[in-house]
Homo-oligomer: A and B are copies of this chain.
Amino acid sequence: MGERDLLMIPGPTNVDPMVLRSMARPTISHTSTTFASVFKETVTDLGRIFKTKGIVLPLAGTGTLGAEVALSNIIEPGDKVLSISGGYFGDRLAEIAGNLGANMDKVDVPWGSAARIENIERKLSETAYKAMLVVHVDTSTGVANPMKELGSLARAKGVLFVVDSVCSMGGMDVQVDDWGINVCFTGSQKALAAPPGIAVISFDSKALEVREKRRTSPSSYYGDIKRWLPILQEPTKYFATPAVNMFYALRESCKMILSEGLEERFKRHAKLASAFRAGLKGMGLQLLCEDAVASNTLTVAFHPKGVSDAEFRKSMAEDYGVVIAGGLGPLKDKAFRVGHMGNVNRSDILATLSAIEGSLGKQAYQFQPGSGVSTANRSLTATV
């Protein structure tokens, strides 16, 4: 892809030039007071975005490392753990927990559906689990799970609530403290709108206590929150070298997020997501999930019969300069995924829909030209 192309995959997203430029600043000493300020500001701002008074650790790595760090601190071999999975990343979370020796139980939610509270409640009543793992928005489906309700359940049952917010944090409301999330993780490259390269993991006091009281040491030495606590207190101390220039970017990005205002930002995501879904439906496409459970950060739509995914996405990129993603797992070749998060704006939504129309138009699919763009445009200009 070219650098002028529109990046509409579900992460990384289009990074603001101000954030990009901040990375070009000279690398300074990771233990200097100057960098300590950068580190502290970033951690403070991330705490606001996570809506937590707990510990927030930004760590060189990706969302997958974030999952591993989240789980390896609180899970010990043999622990009973319940995973709720309705997509590729829910499965991965369960796999990582299993790899750490957890005794896994899994609630399989059909791809495209959200977890049903009554099912989870039954599971939690049947067995005493140590932890429950949930993906807020699975990047493979675009479904948003009912986190507040799941959090209440977990709290009522005394089960640790571990949340993958990779595809929601910064674009949708995630109330870590109020929803009783004990451990929450995300990556820098999604709705936080920075480049990939930093994982962020939060731990509340309950999670820290579990870490403190464990019988075995966490398998991840690098991600052991206990080793990082002194550095989070005083970042001029050393444990492992923070990714200095990536911190420049993440700090800048957090500042932009808070300057827009979290609630304003969530509204923007909701409005654009709604318009995008309306546009897709306007051209007759079938979406993977109902609007009621749809996330505001990404949308998954089925290809109409006879449409080739490869040709479609090639045309999107080459003829229109709009880069989107293919389906994951069972949806490979059957669906496409569009990310609309971070710095996404109205122009991006309309340009993407126009490119989808154009690229579909080249294949064996009949629809009213302009129907996608015009439906979305109506939605965007409607006064709520």
A interface residues, Cβ below 8 angstroms from B: 1-5, 7, 9, 11-15, 20-21, 23-35, 60-65, 67-68, 72, 95-96, 99-100, 187, 189, 195-198, 217, 219-222, 239-246, 249, 317, 323, 325
Report the minimum CB–CB distance from A110 to chain B (whole Å): 23
Q: List 12 A-B contacts (CB under 8 A).
A: A7-B26, A14-B27, A15-B27, A20-B245, A29-B325, A60-B62, A60-B197, A61-B61, A62-B241, A100-B219, A189-B241, A197-B243
Report the minimum CB–CB distance from A187 to chain B (whole Å): 7
Q: A1-B28, A29-B1, A197-B197 are in contact. Are A243 and B240 (CB under 8 A)?
A: no
Q: A60-B197, A221-B95, A222-B65 are in contact. Are A5 and B28 (CB under 8 A)?
A: yes
Q: B residues within 8 A CB of A24? A: 20-21, 23-24
Q: A23-B23, A219-B100 are in contact. Are A244 and B28 (CB under 8 A)?
A: no
- Closest B residue to A7 by CB, please name it: B29
Q: B residues within 8 A CB of A4? A: 26
Contact of A28 among B7, B63, B68 (CB under 8 A): B7
Contact between A60 and B60, CB atoms less than 8 A apart: yes
Q: A34-B1, A220-B68, A221-B99 are in contact. Are A242 and B196 (CB under 8 A)?
A: yes
- Closest B residue to A15 by CB, please name it: B27
Contact between B196 and A68, CB atoms less than 8 A apart: no
Contact between B221 and A96, CB atoms less than 8 A apart: yes
Q: B residues within 8 A CB of A217? A: 99
Q: A196-B27, A219-B219 are in contact. Are A60 and B63 (CB under 8 A)?
A: no
Per the bound structure, the CA–CA distance linking A154 and B241 in Å amounts to: 30
Contact between A27 and B195, CB atoms less than 8 A apart: yes
- Closest B residue to A219 by CB, please name it: B219
Contact between A195 and B2, CB atoms less than 8 A apart: no
Q: B residues within 8 A CB of A99? A: 217, 219, 221
Contact between A222 and B15, CB atoms less than 8 A apart: no
Contact between A196 and B26, CB atoms less than 8 A apart: no
Contact between B220 and A63, CB atoms less than 8 A apart: no
- Closest B residue to A96 by CB, please name it: B221
Per the bound structure, the CA–CA distance linking A312 and B156 in Å amounts to: 57
Q: B residues within 8 A CB of A68? A: 220-222
Q: B residues within 8 A CB of A63? A: 240-241
Report the minimum CB–CB distance from A313 to chain B (whole Å): 11
